[in-house]
Amino acid sequence: MFEIREKPSMVERAMLVSICLPGDNVHEKQAMLDELEDLVSNLGIGIVRKELVRTRDVHAKFLCGTGKAEEVRMAAIAAEADCVVFDNMLAPSQQREWERLIDVCVIDREEIILDIFAKRARTREATMQVELARMQYSLPRMARMWAHLDRQGGGSGGGKGGGGASRGEGEKQIEVDRRLARARIESIQKDLEEVRKQRSTQRKERERQGVPTAAIVGYTNAGKSSLLRLVAEADVLAQNILFATLDTTTRKIELPDGQPLLLTDTVGFIRNLPHRLVETFKSTLEEAVLADFLIQVVDASDPEALRHFETTLEVLAELGAADKPMVAVFNKTDLIPDEERASVIETLTAAVGIPVVPMSVVREQGADSLMNACVDMLSHRVVSRTYRIPLSRSDIIAAMHRDGKVVSTEYDGNDALVTATLPKSFAQKIASYAEPGGEH
CA dist 140 and 2 (Å) reads 11
Residue 266 labeled ligand binder: yes
The backbone region for 405, taken as left when phi is positive above 0, alpha when psi lies in -120 to 50, beta otherwise, is: beta
Neighbours of 129 (CB within 10 A): 26
Distance of CA 395 to the CA centre of its chain: 44
Q: Is 195 annotated as a binding residue?
A: no
DSSP 16: E
222 is in an annotated binding site: yes
Query: How far is residue 52's CA from residue 61's CA, in Å, rounded to a whole number?
Result: 18
Host H or E run for residue 264? strand 260-265
The reply to whether 221 sits in an annotated binding site is yes
| Residue 219 annotated as binding site | yes
Please name the amino acid found at residue 313.
L
Q: Are 355 and 327 in contact (CB under 8 A)?
A: yes
Residue 193 has phi, psi (to 5 degrees) of: -65, -35
In this structure, the chain runs to a length of: 440
Give bridge partners of residue 299 from the DSSP assignment.
331
Residue 220 among known ligand-binding residues: yes
* Helices and strands counted in the chain (H then E): 15, 14
**Residues 184, 135: contact at Cβ < 8 Å?**
yes
Is 44 marked within a binding site? no
Helix/strand/coil for 208: helix
Q: In this structure, are residues 54 and 18 in contact, taking their beta carbons and an 8 Å threshold?
A: no
CB 51 within 8 A of CB 16: yes
Residue 150 marked as a ligand binder: no
Is residue 223 marked as binding? yes
Q: Is 332 annotated as a binding residue?
A: yes
How far apart, in Å, do the first and last CA atoms of the chain sit? 67
Is beta strand 415-423 parallel, antiparallel or unpaired with respect to 382-390?
antiparallel
415 is in an annotated binding site: no
Closest CA to 85 of 102, 101, 109, 62: 109
Question: 218 a known binding residue?
Answer: yes
Q: 344: closest CA among 295, 297, 304?
A: 304
268 is in an annotated binding site: yes
Contact in structure between 259 and 421 (CB atoms under 8 Å)? yes
Which parts are annotated binding residues for Mg(2+)?
225, 245
Which parts are annotated binding residues?
218-225, 243-247, 265-268, 331-334
Which parts are annotated binding residues for GTP?
218-225, 243-247, 265-268, 331-334
